[in-house]
């Protein structure tokens, strides 16, 4: 049930006489340039950032390719037959949209790949859990002896994989990538979940969900989350579902057997949640999604389960970084939206004894998100909230007796004085990190370092000369 392209094809052989402009000089844009040159095609590159790349470095690698930095070159864009757009670039802004001529094809690197390669693909999108699911799939595939690589929104750009002979390419796809993708023919694809994210670009949750669902017409089997109506694929001919409830035959779910929660395939028990290598019920759902995708590709369920238990998880995604003083310190810095934090709280609170507490550190750049869904969940499951960053005060306004700080170090310092054995301290910001850090990884490292400091008796309550 693959959607056929309505655009003129991007087959390499038909691009020789076309004027190609690459928008964006980051990793994705440069991978496009390399791919085009390798295939005997010329292009020009334009980026609105003056410091997007070192000019000398670019000229050394691409001496015959024009580079324009510092603004969107309206004349260059207007002259293009093909615009290859990096995912972070919004083509709806007037400086770009008003210049695109009516005959121009606007596409991304994944679309270019899919029109020129027939590699078997498993594709994953969703607001939360994408990187965990694709990394788990790649790990299991490799352990099963398959030639598997990651691409898309994780690892290297997909065009860097173009010369490899693969049994399976596992793609993580963002909503930005799906905006310019229509020719993928994946074995199976999933929308894991949909929650407020990137609404500064997509405007409404409904529009954001529609973009995510664009993955389904481009796959042979749709893997859906039956508990999230925004992941629906009702018109698809082949559907496998997963969810936290009991599963019908042919689908995946959870069920309590003899007092223990089990991952299920129909009525068949697969593995206990307590045996999974990644914590929280939300990660049990991620495991179900990965198993459903692998099953759709013909991978043995028994073989997948044998290797699933050896997966170590990903940094900054509900990562246990310390059990100092019998307190679990959890780094979930990758939780850059409200849905991710809701999932982390729900998933971890289910593992905490009633007499113990969950402490939350949250805040950053909310990117226009609605924080209201956090209010009832925090009230039910969280003992104390520590807020920081650009939109920390918005989260603080929703909870009782929040503690507002200027740094993660200060939050760790404060909470360390309250947390007791059996408690959980969770960094799950519900926000992007760009207001205070280079990225979520740097934010997570600051948290880890702060936890290490208290283990050495150093409670850091100041940063950059400020008392916080």
394 is catalytic: no
User: What are the backbone dihedrals phi and psi of residue 28, each rounded to the nearest 5 degrees, phi first?
Assistant: -70, -45
Question: Which of 205, 127, 89 minimizes the C-alpha distance to 430?
Answer: 127
List 130, 316, 334, 414, catalytic entry: 130
Q: How far is CA 201 from the centre of its chain?
A: 16
Rounded to whole angstroms, the Cα distance separating 299 from 458 reads 50
List 46, 116, 128, 153, catalytic entry: 153
- The token pair that represents 425 in the structure block: 């301290």
Across 376-411, b (16+ Cβ under 10 Å) vs e yields: ebbeebbebbbbbbbbbebbbebbeebbbbbbbbbb
46 is catalytic: no
Rounded to whole angstroms, the Cα distance separating 361 from 323 reads 17
Residue 207: enclosing H or E segment and its boundaries? helix 205-213
Residue 86 contacts residue 26 (beta carbons within 8 Å): yes
- The token pair that represents 364 in the structure block: 């950053």
Q: Could you give the residue ranges of the DSSP H alpha helices within 20-93?
A: 27-38, 55-61, 74-78
List 116, 128, 193, 198, catalytic entry: 198
130 is catalytic: yes
User: What are the backbone dihedrals phi and psi of residue 415, each rounded to the nearest 5 degrees, phi first?
Assistant: -70, -30
Question: Which of 260, 333, 312 minimizes the C-alpha distance to 135?
Answer: 312
Residues with catalytic function: 130, 153, 198
């Amino acid at each position: 049930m693959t959607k056929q392209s309505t655009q003129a094809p991007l087959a390499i052989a038909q691009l020789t006489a076309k004027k190609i402009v690459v928008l964006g000089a980051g990793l994705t844009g440069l991978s496009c340039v390399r791919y085009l040159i390798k295939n005997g095609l010329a292009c020009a590159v334009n980026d609105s950032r003056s410091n997007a790349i070192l000019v000398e470095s670019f000229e050394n690698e691409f001496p015959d390719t024009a580079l324009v930095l510092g603004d969107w070159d309206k004349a260059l864009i207007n002259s293009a037959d093909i615009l290859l757009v990096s995912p972070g670039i919004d083509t709806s802004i007037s400086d770009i949209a008003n210049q695109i001529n009516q005959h121009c094809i606007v596409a991304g690197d994944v679309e270019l790949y899919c029109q020129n390669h027939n590699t078997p693909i498993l594709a994953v999108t969703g607001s939360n859990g994408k990187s965990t699911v694709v990394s788990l799939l790649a790990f299991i595939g490799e352990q099963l002896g398959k030639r598997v690589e990651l691409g898309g929104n994780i690892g290297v750009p997909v065009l860097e994989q173009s010369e490899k002979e693969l049994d399976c390419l596992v793609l993580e796809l963002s909503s930005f990538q799906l905006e310019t993708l229509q020719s993928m023919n994946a074995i199976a694809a999933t929308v894991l979940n949909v929650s407020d994210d990137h609404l500064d670009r997509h405007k409404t949750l409904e529009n954001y969900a529609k973009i995510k669902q664009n993955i389904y017409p481009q796959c042979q089997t749709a893997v859906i989350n039956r508990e999230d109506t925004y992941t629906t694929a009702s018109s698809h001919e082949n559907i496998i579902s997963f969810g936290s409830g009991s599963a019908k035959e042919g689908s995946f779910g959870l069920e309590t057997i003899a007092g223990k929660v089990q991952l299920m395939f129909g009525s068949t028990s697969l593995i206990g949640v307590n045996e999974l290598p990644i914590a929280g019920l939300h990660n049990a759902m991620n495991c179900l999604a990965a198993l459903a995708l692998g099953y759709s590709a013909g991978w043995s369920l028994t073989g997948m389960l044998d290797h699933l238990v050896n997966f170590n998880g990903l940094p900054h995604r509900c990562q246990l970084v310390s059990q100092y003083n019998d307190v679990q310190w959890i780094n979930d810095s990758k939780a850059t939206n409200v849905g991710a934090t809701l999932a982390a709280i729900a998933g971890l609170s289910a593992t905490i004894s009633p007499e113990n507490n969950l402490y939350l550190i949250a805040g950053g750049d909310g990117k226009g998100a609605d924080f209201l869904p956090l209010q009832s969940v925090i009230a039910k499951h969280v003992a104390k909230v520590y807020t920081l960053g650009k939109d920390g005060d918005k989260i603080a306004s929703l909870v009782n007796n929040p503690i507002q700080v200027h740094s993660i170090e200060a939050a760790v310092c404060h909470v360390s004085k309250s947390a007791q054995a059996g408690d959980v301290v969770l960094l799950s910001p519900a926000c992007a990190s760009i207001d205070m850090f280079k990225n979520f990884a740097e934010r997570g490292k600051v948290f880890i370092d702060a936890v290490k400091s208290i283990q050495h008796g150093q409670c850091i309550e100041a940063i950059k000369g400020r008392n916080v």
